[in-house]
Structure 1
């Protein structure tokens, strides 16, 4: 297999309401204390989901966040060794860079977004 999906996120204008909805729907618990790039969500308004606390301890890590001014979207992130190189490669194949690379404050996590030739938003994530 190539590079794996390592994270998903659900972004909207009312992240607290979204977290309540998905928490009630799927039993997800959220931790809003972690840092996140301001290009992804308002600080303190992004809730990380830890799949290790799910039944069976399996799943892909994810998060729900956003805030006023953030477009509604669902994104998955592919783990890559170099976010800038992945964004450049996406562009060379007909995609369009939308964001990044952007670092989460106080971490070595770097993320970027691009759209594929049909307009689907995809994320890439790596470390710096």
Structure 2
């Protein structure tokens, strides 16, 4: 396999409601204390989902957030060594940049979004 999926997000205008919904539905718990890029979610509104271990499989970590002004969407992030280079390649191949690259405040992580030629939203994540 090439680059792996490393993170997912569920974003909406009412992140507290979404966290309550997915917490009840799937038994997820959330940590809202971590930093997040403002274009991804409002500060304090993003809840990281800790990856659970089920037998020998480890789940992909994720987050549920957003807030006023954030359009509802679901996105998965592919881990890449150079987010800017991967974003340029996505555009060269027919994708469209929609966000970033943007460094997570106080962190060593860079994120970006693009849409593929069919309009599907995809995220990229990698080191700063």
TM-score, length-scaled by structure 2: 0.96
1-side partners of 2:86 and 2:112: how far apart?
9
- Give the secondary-structure state (helix, strand or coil) at the position aligned to 1:34: coil
Matched, 1:34 2:34: yes
The one-character-per-residue Cα deviations of 1:65-123 (angstroms, maximum 9, x if unpaired) are 00000000000000000000010000000000000001111001100000000000000
1:61 is aligned to: 61
2:108 is aligned to: 108
TM-score, length-scaled by structure 1: 0.96
2-side partners of 1:41 and 1:87: how far apart?
21
1:118 is aligned to: 118
> Once the 2 structures are TM-superposed, how far is the Cα of residue 58 of structure 1 from its aligned partner?
1.9
Aligned residues: 127
User: Higher helix proportion, which one?
Assistant: 1
1:11 is aligned to: 11
1-side partners of 2:58 and 2:32: how far apart?
21
2:98 is aligned to: 98
RMSD: 1.0
2-side partners of 1:51 and 1:85: how far apart?
28
- Give the secondary-structure state (helix, strand or coil) at the position aligned to 1:99: strand
1-side partners of 2:120 and 2:102: how far apart?
19
* Structure 2: gaps of 5 or more residues: none
The one-character-per-residue Cα deviations of 1:31-67 (angstroms, maximum 9, x if unpaired) are 0000000010000100000114x54472000000000
* Structure 1: gaps of 5 or more residues: none
